[in-house]
Structure 1
Amino acid sequence: MIMSLEIQQMDEANRLSVWNGYVDWRNRPALRGYHGGMLAASFVLVVEVLENLAFLANASNLVLYLSTKMGFSPSGAANAVTAFMGTAFFLALLGGFLADAFFTTFHIYLVSAAIEFLGLLVLTVQAHEHSTEPWARVVLYVGLYLVALGVGGIKGSLPPHGAEQFDETTPTGRRQRSFFFNYFIFSLSCGALIAVTVVVWLEDNKGWSYGFGVSTAAILISVPVFLAGSRFYRLKVPSGSPITTMFKVLTAALYATYKKRTSRNVVTCHTRNECNDNIAKGNAEGDGSFLDEALRERESLPGRLRCTEEQVKDVKIVIKTLPIFMSTIMLNCCLAQLSTFSIQQASTMNTKLGSFTVPPAALPVFPVVFTMILAPTYNHLLLPLARKTTKTETGVTHLQRIGTGLVLSVVAMAVAALVETKRKLVVKEVTCCSSNNVSSSYSSPLPITFLWIALQYVFLGSADLFTLAGMMEFFFTEAPSTMRSLATSLSWTSLAMGYYLSSVLVSAVNFVTGLNQHNPWLLGKNLNEYHLERFYWLMCVLSGINFLHYLFWARRYAYRSNQS
């Protein structure tokens, strides 16, 4: 009897010491006090420095490589870069889906890093050969989209892998998780800083093969760093395809609604009590939404379409977050300009600081440094002050952070339009006063400092800090536990759709402005003949309308987590 009691107590102690639903890297139960926590997450932060260095080193300067080395036009190079960046971020959905459904985030990262390494190796060889033949473009695209596939897998698995290391059932765990997302952006910026300074300098002064080579080495080094934290990680056990669940609930609701409307049989209650019971059951099983039909008509549905109340609730949560997701796409369309037209603008300007010539692709150093200062300041100064002022656990809600970023994007595009107007005035003055037509050549820098372009970088960089960290934490926290990797990937998918939208906008603007034999705003080999300032004003107006759209949904959103 005593031995039986001792065994029960030992079983209870073992149960309490194990993280429910988590395993270690050897597929054994994860233990409390050993697996997870800030130590495990710190390895993820270091890996993100190396991963973003590898990715951004090429992405930041790729538009100049395509236009100067591969023979692309300015708009053609811009569209190629936005398509590449958009694909890379969009594929984060695939990484998130696989991590939730079949594999752990641990394994998805390792496979994705190997794919990105292979793609960077192909790009290094292609740059070393330095050919503009058609086969070289084929090799270029093969390398780029292998990199995109690898980056997508990493972006879809690494942030949720780090966030899963914290215990969300305690205030301390939730606070540490919030710190993690902010420092994830900090780590991302550290990698970007090295990319847009050291690597860009190598590309401009030693050759593009050196830049691609550094990126290849960085992603290779990230793998042993990631594996070094293996014994500390807790890994969420995959729970099957979340997309299957969503389709099941939506199909069940559609089937139930259709059956209900087309049925010719009159359903009557045999007793008043039975009728009242059914009404009470209907009210208890939903809040009147379309999806509740999957619960109300559950008994009449085919076996494979019968849904649990938890499944319907999870799908409702996902659908509620979609308007917020859609509202962030326009901001990321503005961010796409940092990798394209802004760099091309800077390449026509005076990029000297004293005796030192700054490569145009190093311009992102301004928002990167600002973000590296702002992220810890926000964590250790602004956030505690906000918590004390609002007397809430979060201090600033996720939606407030996202909204702040959207406002900053409106300001950034207005600044970009004003700066381009000033640059064009300088082009006009130089053209009128000089016997040489400066506007026909990029070889003669304009007598205006590139630091004017840095203004829009600072505003857009700040917008990115507030919005990206806010989105990742919002989607991870609000999503059902079975689809958190997929939901977090929506942050990167928003970036992808922003880049795609940028390409569509450029093409649409050129089409509309080129009607009636007019010159399109953004077409040709010479950036000085573009009407880029008009395009930026258009982006500013669209961003303002988008913010109003965001406010409409954000004010009506009800958090499922501990937000005030």
Structure 2
Amino acid sequence: MDAEPQTSGAPKRGGWVTFPFLIATMAGLTIAAGGWNSNLIVYLIQEFNIKSIDAAQIANIINGCMTLFPILGAILADSYFGSFIVVSISSLVSLVGILMLTLTSTLDLLKPTPCENGASPCLGPSKAQIGILYTSLALSSLGVAGTRFTLATMGADQFDNPKHQGVFFNWHFFTMYAATLVSMVGIVYIQDHVSWGLGFGLSCAANLIGLAAFVLGRRYYQLLKPRGSPFTGLACVLVAAFRKRKVLLSLKIEDYCQELGTGGTKLVNKTPTSGFKFLNHAALVTPGDMNTNGSINKPWNLCTLQQVEDLKTLIKISPIWSTGILLHTPIATQMSLIVLQALAMDRHLGPRFQISAGTMMVFVMISTATSLALIDRFLLPTFHKLTRTSPTPLKRIGIGHVLTISSMALSALVESKRLTTARTHNLTGNSIVPMSVFWMVPQLVVVGVGEAFMFPGQVMFYYQEFPGSIKSTAAAMVAMFIGIAFYLGTAVVDFIRKTTGWLPDGINEGRMDNVYWVLTILGLVNFCYYLVCSWMYKYQNVENKEVISSNHS
């Protein structure tokens, strides 16, 4: 992309002068998002009288949206509108959404009557109340679309030096983790022990501060012009191949459209590969496809061989990509169920302090952050010294599979003990079981260690193997199957509710341990599928793989 033109005499844009504005924006918007989302299940149960499993399902759908929407935001920023406009509008949308959510917690008119009011029946929200609630959640989720990926990309665009870009990314992700911890611990505590209105109000204030910091830095940013979506070229391959499906393929290299440079000159002559031969039709030159200067006349009728090979590469990667969906489905399901378990367990830390159920995922974050440091500074160097090699991205992902499966099995065992304790004390519904919530910490630590292996492995693998034209979407591809996993987890829970009695509204009367065993089996089956896919896969960029491996030595 080209940089936005600067007026004469204006100071050079970009560089470290933009750093405080972008980091303040990231901190404010992350605190805002975590402040309303981390404790959402508890809010729906306690303030809107929504049944526990239904609240978990709603949270799963919201988390899926918050994971998928940023992909759309990144595409819009990169292809059409630019980062500044997308971040600004998204931040404003999220501000409106969180403000509406704050109003639902402070105005009695916008929420149902509390169930504790003596003789009055426990009524759920009206259609108008649920409509306003869903609208606020939708706007708040949409607001995340312009920040998750777009802010990171925009920050990297401010620096020409790759080393400076790396430093920015380190601070960017550190800020994201730190801000998330602030919201999960601080704001959630205020929501549980002071008031929901104050908690959501602080999220709203953080969003406003983030938006203000971002807009104030406008004069210093180096803004790059949108360069068009790389996925358009891949779509052209499918269209062109279908249109020319009846044309006979040629064995001559010169009959295919090669990669073109300026003035229509050919950069390199390539031979079409035999795999997925049908797609080679897209690069086959037919009368009228080319201009007299050698450029393409009809883009949706003719593509270069490079575009064809790029699409073939994505098709080859897709089986491994699909395993990521079922890898993250158990984790997505666990994230919601664990809040319900925590609500029905002893959360006291000392005689007075009580941990909020919505903060239990903090243990996953702490485990992931600690494990990342240990893996990078100790495990990988030790592995390299002993074997003279470094684990490939696929091996790191495989370790993540094993640890995730182990976490689900641990979750099943802990829940089985919780249910046994509940029945020993004749506790029904969602009554608090005399069993410490810290029994669930080991399973969260294990899943955190698994994430420390698989997340870097996945991003590394897709960045390494993706065609050059779409390398910037590597992180987005990981986010995409995580988002799909949230929706699939919702479908799995819904199916189990309809076909079994394992997930009643009162979890003390159900068999949530069986749900975790199902997730364990699902993970095992998916791991076997992953082993087959990874065994059959051949690295496309062997040189890059070796470079990446050597960097960890």
Q: What is the TM-score of this pair, normalised by structure 2?
A: 0.81
Higher helix share: 1
Describe the SS at the equivalent of 1:439.
coil
Equivalence for 2:132: 139
Residue 188, structure 1, aligned to residue 176, structure 2: yes
Equivalence for 2:539: 558
Moved more, 42-51 or 214-223: 42-51
Residue 373, structure 1, aligned to residue 373, structure 2: no
Counterpart CA distance in 2 for 1:65 and 1:483 is 40
Q: 1:405 aligns with which of 396, 400, 408?
A: 400
Counterpart CA distance in 1 for 2:253 and 2:63 is 55
Equivalence for 1:69: 47
Equivalence for 1:158: 151
Q: Structure 1 residues 349 and 281 mapped into 2: Cα distance closer, same or farther (>3 Å)?
A: closer
Q: 1:541 aligns with which of 521, 532, 543?
A: 521
Deviation of residue 155 (structure 1)?
Answer: 2.2
Counterpart CA distance in 2 for 1:511 and 1:27 is 64
Q: Deviations over 1:53-99 (max 9, x none)?
A: 22222222111111121121111111111111112222222112212
Equivalence for 1:94: 72
Q: Structure 1 residues 323 and 276 mapped into 2: Cα distance closer, same or farther (>3 Å)?
A: closer
Describe the SS at the equivalent of 1:91.
helix
Residue 203, structure 1, aligned to residue 191, structure 2: yes
Q: 1:439 aligns with which of 406, 424, 428?
A: 428
Counterpart CA distance in 2 for 1:46 and 1:93 is 22
Counterpart CA distance in 2 for 1:221 and 1:74 is 34
Counterpart CA distance in 1 for 2:388 and 2:170 is 21
Counterpart CA distance in 1 for 2:136 and 2:454 is 30
Equivalence for 1:12: none
Deviation of residue 528 (structure 1)?
Answer: 0.9
Q: Deviations over 1:237-267 (max 9, x none)?
A: 4221333222111111223334449xxxxx9
Counterpart CA distance in 1 for 2:271 and 2:232 is 22
Moved more, 382-391 or 532-541: 382-391
Q: Deviations over 1:507-553 (max 9, x none)?
A: 1222333xxxxxx222x320111211111011011112222322333
Q: 2:508 aligns with which of 522, 528, 550?
A: 528
Deviation of residue 135 (structure 1)?
Answer: 1.7
Deviation of residue 473 (structure 1)?
Answer: 4.6
Maintained 8 Å contact 1:156/1:485: no
Q: Deviations over 1:421-448 (max 9, x none)?
A: 11011011111xxxxxx21352xx2111
Q: Percent identity?
A: 28
Q: Structure 1 residues 557 and 509 mapped into 2: Cα distance closer, same or farther (>3 Å)?
A: farther
Counterpart CA distance in 1 for 2:21 and 2:314 is 30
Equivalence for 2:263: none
Deviation of residue 112 (structure 1)?
Answer: 1.4
Counterpart CA distance in 2 for 1:281 and 1:24 is 33
Letter in 1 for 2:134: Y
Maintained 8 Å contact 2:253/2:270: no
Letter in 1 for 2:545: Q
Deviation of residue 147 (structure 1)?
Answer: 0.9
Counterpart CA distance in 1 for 2:168 and 2:380 is 13
Deviation of residue 336 (structure 1)?
Answer: 1.9
Maintained 8 Å contact 1:25/1:233: no
Counterpart CA distance in 2 for 1:344 and 1:286 is 55
Counterpart CA distance in 2 for 1:203 and 1:78 is 18
Q: Structure 1 residues 559 and 396 mapped into 2: Cα distance closer, same or farther (>3 Å)?
A: farther
Q: Structure 1 residues 101 and 429 mapped into 2: Cα distance closer, same or farther (>3 Å)?
A: same
Counterpart CA distance in 2 for 1:338 and 1:195 is 20
Maintained 8 Å contact 2:253/2:271: no
Residue 505, structure 1, aligned to residue 500, structure 2: no
Maintained 8 Å contact 1:36/1:165: yes
Counterpart CA distance in 1 for 2:474 and 2:306 is 17
Describe the SS at the equivalent of 1:499.
helix
Equivalence for 1:343: 339
Q: Deviations over 1:198-249 (max 9, x none)?
A: 1111111121111211211222222344457667765554221333222111
Counterpart CA distance in 2 for 1:478 and 1:45 is 30
Unaligned regions of 5+ residues in structure 1, if any? Answer: 1-20, 262-266, 268-274, 432-437, 514-519
Residue 468, structure 1, aligned to residue 446, structure 2: no
Describe the SS at the equivalent of 2:245.
helix
Q: What is the TM-score of this pair, normalised by structure 1?
A: 0.79
Deviation of residue 481 (structure 1)?
Answer: 5.1
Q: Structure 1 residues 232 and 477 mapped into 2: Cα distance closer, same or farther (>3 Å)?
A: farther
Deviation of residue 409 (structure 1)?
Answer: 1.0
Maintained 8 Å contact 1:417/1:534: yes
> Where do 1:95-494 residues align within 5 Å?
95-130=73-108, 131-132=111-112, 133-162=126-155, 177=166, 185-226=173-214, 236-260=224-248, 284-290=270-276, 292-294=279-281, 297-299=284-286, 303=298, 304-355=300-351, 356-382=353-379, 397-431=392-426, 438-442=427-431, 445-476=432-463, 478-480=465-467, 482-494=469-481
Describe the SS at the equivalent of 2:45.
helix
Deviation of residue 492 (structure 1)?
Answer: 1.9
Describe the SS at the equivalent of 1:447.
strand
Describe the SS at the equivalent of 2:434.
strand
Deviation of residue 469 (structure 1)?
Answer: 3.9
Deviation of residue 337 (structure 1)?
Answer: 3.0
Q: 2:36 aligns with which of 58, 69, 76?
A: 58
Letter in 2 for 1:471: Q
Deviation of residue 292 (structure 1)?
Answer: 4.4
Describe the SS at the equivalent of 2:447.
helix
Counterpart CA distance in 1 for 2:146 and 2:182 is 22
Moved more, 72-81 or 94-103: 94-103
Q: Structure 1 residues 183 and 151 mapped into 2: Cα distance closer, same or farther (>3 Å)?
A: same
Q: Structure 1 residues 106 and 116 mapped into 2: Cα distance closer, same or farther (>3 Å)?
A: same
Q: Deviations over 1:139-179 (max 9, x none)?
A: 110110001111123224234334556769x7x68xx64x7
Maintained 8 Å contact 2:237/2:279: no
Maintained 8 Å contact 2:369/2:452: no
Describe the SS at the equivalent of 2:321.
helix
Maintained 8 Å contact 1:199/1:214: yes
Letter in 2 for 1:61: N
Letter in 2 for 1:550: Y
Counterpart CA distance in 2 for 1:25 and 1:379 is 41
Q: Structure 1 residues 428 and 289 mapped into 2: Cα distance closer, same or farther (>3 Å)?
A: same
Deviation of residue 467 (structure 1)?
Answer: 3.0
Q: Structure 1 residues 206 and 85 mapped into 2: Cα distance closer, same or farther (>3 Å)?
A: same
Maintained 8 Å contact 1:351/1:357: yes
Counterpart CA distance in 2 for 1:465 and 1:233 is 33
Describe the SS at the equivalent of 1:289.
coil
Maintained 8 Å contact 1:22/1:234: no
Letter in 1 for 2:312: K
Q: Deviations over 1:439-490 (max 9, x none)?
A: 1352xx2111000122222222333343334434544554445445544322
Counterpart CA distance in 2 for 1:232 and 1:381 is 40
Counterpart CA distance in 2 for 1:400 and 1:163 is 29
